[in-house]
Structure 1
């Protein structure tokens, strides 16, 4: 009887030790604690708003229909500028696209060949047939709270 009681106490002791040990080596949460602020200046007017779109996968850009994004934010325009901040990001590779939604319809207004509303991408100063946006070209590493500037590009 004493032996089985001793074995049970040892088993419970080991169990509680293992539980306590496992809590001390917890796997880090996938939830991030970094933020990314995106600024844009030199908007051609204060109509509408600016849509800020964040991507985190290789196949995300180009995204003409805006359905491959990771997170999306809407920014008000004040004196030709707008800002949006994305919160709770894990360290990793991201890309940003923006567009000036002048008519507030949530879509990029298109002309015959080129967009009628302004757009921009992280790491891009201009867009041309030889300089098309892609995730590889627009991406950057996020390892801490970061602020970036994106240039708005108008074709008309």
Structure 2
């Protein structure tokens, strides 16, 4: 009986320690439903706006797009998203430095004289949490 109780406790603790997190993001303010909404999830300051941890694309319906990143380990994350109107999979740039397609970031982090900062866009996930945000197009 003692062995059974210990086994059950070990199972419960292992499930608790491997709880996975998720992020649900709704992007609003699309002027058209053409193209796709592309969401990039970043897992470190070093990779911010350079290399995504995960990427999801979805349809735009009535000016909004919602995605869910699931099964994420504990850590700090940030989201950068854009309206891929021409569906080329890239954020088109004007003159090489100014976005030609609408974009948004987690926490609605501002882009002042350059890209948004990691510290303004980041959020923490831990212990099986779910982060829900509504971000607005710039």
TM-score normalised over the length of structure 2: 0.80
* Distance in 2 (alpha carbons) for counterparts of 1:32 and 1:69: 22
Q: What is the number of equivalent residue pairs in this alignment? A: 129
Equivalent residues in 2 for 1:3-152, closer than 5 Å = 24=10, 28=14, 32-63=19-50, 68-112=51-95, 113-124=97-108, 126-129=110-113, 132-143=115-126, 144-152=129-137
Verify the 8 A CA contact 1:31 1:88 in the aligned structure 2.
Answer: no
Deviation at 1:91, TM superposition (A): 2.3
Q: Is the 8 A contact 1:125 1:151 kept in 2?
A: no
Structure with bigger RCO (C-alpha 8 Å, 6+ apart): 2
Instruction: Please report how far the alpha carbon of residue 60 of structure 1 lies from its aligned counterpart in structure 2 after TM superposition.
Output: 1.4
* Alpha-carbon RMSD: 2.5
Structure 2: gaps spanning 5 or more residues: none
Offset at residue 62 of structure 1 (A): 3.0
Shift of 1:53: 0.6
Structure-2 change in CA distance of 1:98 and 1:146 (3 Å): same
Which consecutive segments of 4 or more residues in structure 1 shift more than 4 A?
Answer: 27-32
**Unaligned regions of 5+ residues in structure 1, if any?**
1-16
TM-score, normalised relative to structure 1: 0.71
Query: Structure 1 or 2: larger strand share?
Result: 2
Kept after mapping to 1: 8 A contact 2:75/2:124? yes
